[in-house]
Amino acid sequence: MEPKIAISGLNKDFWSDRQSVCALQDINLSIADGEFVCIVGPSGCGKTTLLRIVAGLEAASSGTVTIQHDSLSRPLNSMVFQEQSVFPWMTVRDNVAFGLRCRGVARRTREEIRDHYISEVGLKGFDGAFPHQLSGGMKQRVSLARAFANDPEVLLMDEPFAALDEQTKIILQESLIEIWSRHRKTVLFITHSIDEAIALSDRVVIISARPGRVKDIVKVDLPRPRRVYEMKSSAAYGVLVQRIWSALEEEVRGASAKDYRRGSAPRERSNGLD
């Protein structure tokens, strides 16, 4: 079967101080239709850059990204951003319907789809609220609804829950699992959290420190439907964490050691287990 997303021979170089810095090197990845794939890697490894290239927001230096366009009425991809990205000047309603409006979906249909996804992410009753009246978690729910409502071929998520507190994060992860299992969209999800990667995905792609390369791919064969906390107490879960961490550890240590040597300020020394 053709992969839904095919990334082949992808390179990305940046220019800084008249020097070319290689951010991503020879990335090859194929993601099947309906698959949920998480990408983890030390900070600064270029995982966000990779996602932005897949989203078409940035250009690759070489290599190709192909997204299978099955239905031409659908947009190729919709993104859920890390930072607060819902329009503060629009109500929840207008935010969720934004993509549909961009695509010129007729008003009736638009309103139907919009209301459906607002209730699907659990924001019914907040339809007319402005983002400043919502909590951080609710804003990310709006962002999720906006992406899902757009009905894209693939969903791209760039650490959407990174800025949330632990409890809210778990609740939102469970909501995402639930919505995803209903629609079975292909998802490419960036995170720095091993826990999050295992909780959500079918496969975890580990990216090395700069230059970012695919270091390992770990299959997560935990049964679905998943409940985040129940899953964490299983033995299989511990094995997965161990496996991913051992692949990631030297990258994280290497990345911060390199920063010391270069004399630049060290990045946050994450233990990778947050």
Least Å from the CB of residue 232 to other proteins: 32
3-class state of residue 263 by DSSP? coil
Return the number of the residue (130 or 245) whose C-beta is nearest other proteins: 130
**Token couple for 15:** 């220019």
Question: Is there binding between residue 49 and other proteins (CB under 8 A)?
Answer: no
**Are 194 and 201 within 8 A, CB to CB?**
no
The owner of tokens 């366009």 is: 69
**Beta strands at 154-158 and 186-190: parallel, antiparallel or unpaired:** parallel
User: Given the complex with other proteins, which of 30 and 85 has the nearer CB atom?
Assistant: 85
* Residue 115 contacts residue 125 (beta carbons within 8 Å): no
**Among residues 81 and 180, whose Cβ is nearest to other proteins?**
81
The pair of structure tokens assigned to 248 is 């990631």
Q: Are 40 and 197 within 8 A, CB to CB? A: yes
The DSSP secondary-structure symbol of 212 reads: B
Per CB under 8 A, does 150 bind other proteins? yes
- The answer for residues whose C-beta is within 8 angstroms of residue 55's C-beta and 6 or more apart is 77, 79, 156
Would you count residue 160 as binding other proteins (CB under 8 A)?
no
Task: Work out the angle at residue 160's Cα, subtended by the Cα atoms of residues 154 and 166, and round it to the nearest 5 degrees.
Answer: 140
Q: Is residue 103 part of the contact set for other proteins (CB under 8 A)?
A: yes
Q: How far is the CB of 139 from other proteins (least distance, A)?
A: 12
Check residue 84 for interaction with other proteins (CB under 8 A).
yes
Among 102, 217, 239, 257, binds other proteins (CB under 8 A): 102
Nearer to other proteins, 56 or 125 (CB): 56
Q: d(Cα 190, Cα 50) in Å, to the nearest integer?
A: 9
Count of positions on this chain that bind other proteins (CB under 8 A): 25
Least Å distance, CB 37 to other proteins, is 19
Sole window of 3-11, 78-86, 206-214, 250-258 interacting with other proteins (rule: CB under 8 A): 78-86
Q: Which residues are near other proteins by CB under 8 A? A: 55-57, 75, 77-79, 81, 83-85, 87-90, 98-99, 101-103, 130-132, 146, 150
